[in-house]
Amino acid sequence: AEGLAAAAADGELWKLVVTSVPEPGDARGYVERAFAMQDRVAFAVRALDTGAVIGSTSYHDIVPAVDRLEIGYTWYAKSRQKTRVNPACKFLLMRHAFETLG
């Protein structure tokens, strides 16, 4: 939760309206709400070079009966936006969904 709070503070991302980002003082609640969702699997995204948490992305709206899921609830620290982070994460999520989950 602390890492997510620090990542969200990089750019005051809680002001965005396009995704769900932890607001100041609510990172623990953000994590708890993500884990409580029945059709969401949330991931913290970490930087390979430092290990620091730099954002989050999720599988969501998971419908096993029709082998379907969506990728979203994605956000990254402002300093990591428009870098290779998002394409790399999406590639890993899609590869896992298709090759491992089927």
**SS (HEC) of 57-76:** EEEEEEEHHHCEEEEEEEEE
Quickly state the pLDDT bin for 66 (edges 50, 70, 90). very high
How many angstroms separate the CA atoms of 12 and 69, rounded?
Answer: 29
Quickly state the pLDDT bin for 46 (edges 50, 70, 90). very high
Beta bridge partners of 59: 41, 71
Encode pLDDT of 1-39 as tens digits: 999 999 999 999 998 878 889 999 999 999 999 999 999
75: CB partners within 8 A, 6+ apart: 8, 13, 16, 19, 20, 21, 55, 56, 57
Quickly state the pLDDT bin for 45 (edges 50, 70, 90). very high
